[in-house]
Structure 1
Amino acid sequence: MDNNQLSKFADTLSLYRDGSPFTDELLIDSQGDLDVFFSPFEHVNMLAKVVLVGISPGATQANNANVKAMELLNAGETLDVVSEKAKLTGAFSGALRNNLVRLLDYIGINQKLSISSCESLFGDNMHLLHSTSVFRYPTLLSGKPISSANKGLTNPLLKSMVDNCLTDEFAQLPQSAFYLPMGQGVDKILLYLCEKGILSRSQLLIGMPHPSGANAERIAYFLGSKTKTELSDKTNPDKIDEAKQQLLKQVGQNFSTTNITPTTVNYDKGGNSSRTSSPASVGSAKPVEEKTSQQECKNYLNMVSPSDGYMLENIERQIKRHLAALNLSVGPVKSRTSKELAIFKGSETIAYVSRKTGLKKGHMIVALHPRMATKIDQMTGELEGVSVSPGKNSRYISSSNYRGFNSKGYSSQLKSNEHQAAAFKVDVTDGLSAFKSLLGVC
């Protein structure tokens, strides 16, 4: 499923009627008893430290986001501004937000972010929060909002949102972010992404009750405002106790206190956003600090996992973050031993990065479509750290892994009946600047 569809539905949203998020005009796809509708939940906050992951935007969320998008579009705002502001309006809106804030504060997320309450994640500290769903777009099952993510890995339509939309989102988020799954089956989806190397298990905070009002009894017991003797038979207190203790322990051990400066997002007349900082309401706040380039460079001297010889997961996550800044995305890795990372510009495959070959001593092999060879060869003097990496018998190399190029028979120099590519060796001992420069001209 396409990751970005706002431009396709912008005209429809400009005519949106309050209270009608599930109409034929907003329908993205239907399969069997599933219907997926567009609503502007595509914006990714790449500064986020907290990631809230629900099942799918509900009717209230979708309507709130659609109304905001309608207002912004009719005011002449750019699509980027519409995407960001509409999602902030719709994400986890309605009655469940109060419960969510209480739960997050209870397990200590506010203390770890040095903010007085997680309520500010929806206000002054919204730059620390990314809200999303395993099924990005509002999804109906048999005409009602889907209430479980359990079919997310078996149903083709649902899995396409996981493998394309969700994977692309998480690849753009900081490695330091942590994730709270909320809703039946969401934890299974996130664990699946851990298996694929998109996330690390230590980033997941599993076990918090869903903040829905329908879950009031479990929330009350989790927060300590209801005793075991007051619970109905539908609630398992032992399971809640176990999850709560694990969460409290994990939050205390895995995440060091970070001082935060609240940030305000401002927009100029052209719709470009900028952030300005103001003193925090608690403590002697400082901005969140990212790793310095010098610290990051050391990581690229050894990019190979000693257990299997493939690229380290943390290196892949860093690569994905850098590519996101170039508006490029990385395709999902089918298995730990997949040989290539596919890189996309929109829906077009523009490069492959080897996950095994050439990774020692701070180098990566990047394969481009062979039609790019002449252009890049002419620029190698300008692209410091980039050099040609020819095959044994030709300027080009070939592999069935490059099927995204659809380049069989491009050069008569190769007798192989596989897809062809032009390979370049990129020096990353001093960081990813050469890598980004190479892909920036593709």
Structure 2
Amino acid sequence: MTDMTAGTRNLERFASRICEASEADLRAAIYADGPAPLRDTTLGLAADGPYRAFYAPFDWINTQADVVIVGLTPGRQQALDAVLVLRQALLQGQTLEQAAALAKYSASFKGGMRKLGAQLMDHFHIHQLLGLVTTAELFGSAQGRVHATSALRYPVLRHHGNYSGHAGMLDVPFMREMVETCLAPELAVLKNAWVIPFGTYAHRAVQHLANRGLVDEGRILGGILHPGGQQWNRYKVQLGMTTGAAIANVKGGLEVERRSRELHLKVQALLQQTPVAVRRPGAAA
């Protein structure tokens, strides 16, 4: 079972435009380091100062999921992967929903991000909360339990490059609107799922919705660093490899340690309230 209601209008609006463009043109436009009419106008959604958003097919929702992993926004490579898979699937005669599901799966967390993401989640014993041997199963045998999404569903660029977030994200009107009109309904469909934001800015977006009563704060497992592999000193703090006075020597280390401690306490409290037996993929929830 899937849900396409939140993104159906955009999917229907842009699918034909994607199919009409060549693979080479799509690739060149998405990776352009300057203005690109195909990306910025034909597929364009919004712009504000140095920031702009464009359409890529991240609308499909796995309504069977009991875990939602929330990143910040799709990068250019993720966007390209999703666009090209959607285009190929539609040209081969698949339905919009089938094509959208394939596109979403093709561009979800990949490679090293999966390994590091699982390592971080396991460190906080989230695998125990989910009844798994390791959260690495969420990227393999238990992938049917997961819905991967982003605080900003559609790709956002800064000066035509990947956007990595900033403190004033929710002050940018189109970004705030995307959180409130895309992410909020998406999480409402999955209201009984655990919500795991990766990174500070994704956590802030989810917390913003919780503050408005749109997400159950008790189901948010926030505080995990984004597993992008660019901040190893901070990962060592989060994993308990850097301790004591040395934490203060890491930029942002004290804040990482504080958030990590809070998440540890939250997960432990949840485990004490409801012990969870190991549940194998495919077993009844």
TM-score (norm 1): 0.55
Deviation at 1:228, TM superposition (A): 5.5
**Residue 241 of structure 1 pairs with residue 252 of structure 2:** no
Tell me the alpha carbon deviations over residues 197-243 of structure 1, each in whole angstroms, 9 at most, x when there is no partner. 11122122222122111112211232234455776834344433332
Segments of 5+ residues of structure 2 without an aligned counterpart are 1-5, 32-38
Deviation at 1:83, TM superposition (A): 1.2
Q: Which residue pairs with 2:208 in the alignment?
A: 192
- Work out whether residues 46 and 174 of structure 1, in 8 Å CA contact, stay in contact via their aligned partners in 2: no
Q: How far apart in 2 are the matches of 1:149 and 1:167?
A: 20
Q: Which residue pairs with 2:13 in the alignment?
A: 8
Q: Which residue pairs with 1:101 in the alignment?
A: 118
Tell me the alpha carbon deviations over residues 72-109 of structure 1, each in whole angstroms, 9 at most, x when there is no partner. 22222111111112111212234322211111121112
**Which protein, 1 or 2, shows the higher relative CO under an 8 Å CA cutoff with sep ≥ 6?**
2
SS at match of 2:170: coil
Q: 1:205 aligns with which of 217, 221, 244?
A: 221
Q: How far apart in 1 are the matches of 2:224 and 2:115?
A: 15
* 1:49-68 alignment, distance < 5 Å: 49-68=66-85
Deviation at 1:70, TM superposition (A): 2.5
TM-score (norm 2): 0.82
Deviation at 1:111, TM superposition (A): 2.1
**Residue 111 of structure 1 pairs with residue 128 of structure 2:** yes
Identity %: 27
What amino acid sits opposite 1:155 in the alignment?
A: V
Flag the structure with larger Rg: 1
SS at match of 1:47: coil
Q: How far apart in 1 are the matches of 2:136 and 2:27?
A: 26
Q: Which residue pairs with 1:435 in the alignment?
A: none
Tell me the alpha carbon deviations over residues 274-328 of structure 1, each in whole angstroms, 9 at most, x when there is no partner. xxx4xxxxxxxx311xxxxxxxxxxxxxxxxxxxxxxxxxxxxxxxxxxxxxxxx
Q: Which residue pairs with 2:144 in the alignment?
A: 127
- CA RMSD after TM alignment: 2.4
Q: CA separation of 1:89/1:260 partners in 2, compared to 1, >3 Å: closer, same or farther?
A: farther
- Work out whether residues 148 and 183 of structure 1, in 8 Å CA contact, stay in contact via their aligned partners in 2: no
Q: Which residue pairs with 2:284 in the alignment?
A: 287
Q: How far apart in 1 are the matches of 2:250 and 2:186?
A: 35
Which stretches of structure 1, 4 residues or longer, exceed 4 Å deviation after superposition?
A: 226-232
Q: CA separation of 1:197/1:232 partners in 2, compared to 1, >3 Å: closer, same or farther?
A: closer
Deviation at 1:54, TM superposition (A): 1.6
Q: How far apart in 2 are the matches of 1:234 and 1:222?
A: 11
Q: How far apart in 1 are the matches of 2:156 and 2:109?
A: 16
* 1:32-431 alignment, distance < 5 Å: 32-148=49-165, 150-175=167-192, 177-227=193-243, 233-254=249-270, 256=274, 257=276, 259-262=278-281, 277=282, 286-288=283-285
Segments of 5+ residues of structure 1 without an aligned counterpart are 263-276, 278-285, 289-442
